[in-house]
Amino acid sequence: MTTSLTRIAACATAALTGVLLLAGSAQAAPVPKWKCEGGSSASPNDPGGRDVRLRLASTNGYGYAEARFIAHGEHIYFDNYAGENGRPFWVEMEMAGSTWKYKWNLGPGYGLHHSYNGSFPEGEKVSSLLSTYIGTGKTCTNGSGRT
């Protein structure tokens, strides 16, 4: 009986030690690091208009999200390519001289897409923001779009 109890205690100690070793070796997931890319350019199809492209790209393997404002037709495109276990993003666009403000959240998932087709007066300044909730460098802005 004493031998059985000793064996049970030894097995329990070995199992607990294995669990503690495994728990101690687990590492926290790295924090996403983001880099803002993009800018604005003259619209090829809308005289006086400026298109905007913002891209928030991970520098450590978390994919990217992209927001675009196309002056011709006032189109907004928003894509999330941050992976199946990626991050949610949001985009905000606001026009100076107008009460119009557009905000859209795009949840985590690879290849999620959203678009919007507006109709606004010509010559309005468009400010754009693309952001995510987690990580460093998580916001990308541009204030040089124009309808």
CATH number reported for the structural domain that contains residue 88 in this entry: 2.60.40
Whether 49 and 125 have beta carbons less than 8 Å apart is answered as no
106 occurs within a structural domain: yes
5 occurs within a structural domain: no
CA 53, CA 40: separation in Å to the nearest integer? 6
**Two tokens, residue 85:** 């276990």
7 occurs within a structural domain: no
At 116, the amino acid letter reads Y
Length of the chain, in residues: 147
**Residue 90's domain spans which residues?**
34-146
46-to-55, 70, 111, 142 alpha-carbon distances in Å: 22, 9, 29, 19
Domain count, the chain: 1
pLDDT attached to residue 2: 53
Cβ neighbors of 3 (< 8 A, separation 6 or more) are: none
pLDDT attached to residue 44: 95
49 occurs within a structural domain: yes
44 occurs within a structural domain: yes
pLDDT attached to residue 19: 42
CA 85, CA 5: separation in Å to the nearest integer? 46
Tens-digit pLDDT string for the chain (147 aa) = 555 545 554 544 544 444 444 444 556 777 888 899 999 999 999 999 999 999 999 888 888 889 999 999 999 999 888 765 667 788 888 887 666 788 888 776 677 888 888 888 888 899 998 988 777 788 999 999 999
43 occurs within a structural domain: yes
